[in-house]
Amino acid sequence: MSLSTVLRVIGRTDGEVHSVFRTGSRVYGTATAASDEDFVAVLARRDARQDLAFAPGVNVVVHGLDTFRSALADHSVFALECLFLPPEHRLKEPRPPFPFKLDRKKLAASAASRSASDFKKAGARFDEQPEASKKKLFHALRVPLFAVQIAETGAIHDHGAATPIWREIAADERLDWEAYREAYGPLRERLCDRLAALASRR
C-alpha cells in the first residue's frame, strides 16, 4: 500500500505529515490474505491529538509530534517498533530522525505493564471471542519479546521473532482459556523476568 493511500485515509496532504510507518501483522509476518493493513502516521503539527482513522482493510493510528515523542519517552514498544523498522516499511522517513535514549527500567516497566494488560484481556474475553483473545495473547508475548531485543541490543533486529508463537497459538483448537494460560503464562513471566534482569544492569 502506498503513502498516497494512507494520506487519503487520514485526509491529510503530504506536507501535513511528518512520517508514516507500516506496523502490525504485515511487519511481523503473521498476516493472512484477509488481514487489515496497519499504519502509524505522525502529523507535522506538534499539538495534534492522538486519533484513529479507518477505511476498508486499513487502520491508521494518527499522532502529533508531541504525542509520538511522548510515547517514545514512555518506552511504548508500539512506538519503538516504528523507530527500528526495515526501510521497506517506512512509507515516509522522519527527518530529522526521532531522538531516543534507552532507559531499560522504563522499558521493562512499560512492556511488562502492557503485556500483563493484554494477557488479562485475553483471559477475560476468551469464552466470547476466542480468536480476538488469541491475538491479545500473542501481543502479551510479542511486546516483552521485542522489549528484550531492545534492552539487549538497543534495537529491534527481528520483527518476526514472535511469528512462530503466533502460528502455534493460531493452530491450537482448544477452547479452554486455562490451557492457554498454563501453556503461555510461564513464557510471558520468563520474558518479563528477563527484562527485569536487564533493567538492573548498570
Q: Tell me, what's the pLDDT at 115?
A: 98
**Segments of the chain scoring below 70 in pLDDT:** 202
**Dist CA 195 CA 181 (whole Å):** 20
Q: Is 172 exposed, middle or buried (0-12, 13-18, 19+ CB in 10 A)?
A: middle
For the entire predicted model, the pTM comes to: 0.93
Q: Which of 114, 124, 119 is nearest to 136 (CA)?
A: 119
Q: Under a CB-based contact definition with an 8 Å cutoff, are residues 63 and 43 in contact?
A: yes
Rounded-to-integer distance, Cα 51 and Cα 11, Å: 12
Q: Identify the CA nearest to 30 among candidates 173, 179, 134, 178.
A: 134
pLDDT of amino acid 31: 86
What would the grid cell of residue 88 be?
521497506
**Phi, psi at 38, each rounded to 5°:** -120, 140
**Cα separations (Å) of 37 from 3, 5, 100?**
12, 11, 26
Instruction: Express each pLDDT in 81-110 by its tens digit.
Output: 999 999 999 999 998 899 999 999 999 999
**The pLDDT of residue 202:** 62
List the one residue out of 41, 37, 90, 31 whose CA is nearest residue 59.
Answer: 37
- Residue linked to cell 477505511: 55
Whole-number pLDDT of residue 1: 72
Residue 5: predicted pLDDT: 93
Phi/psi at 47 (nearest 5 deg)? -95, 5
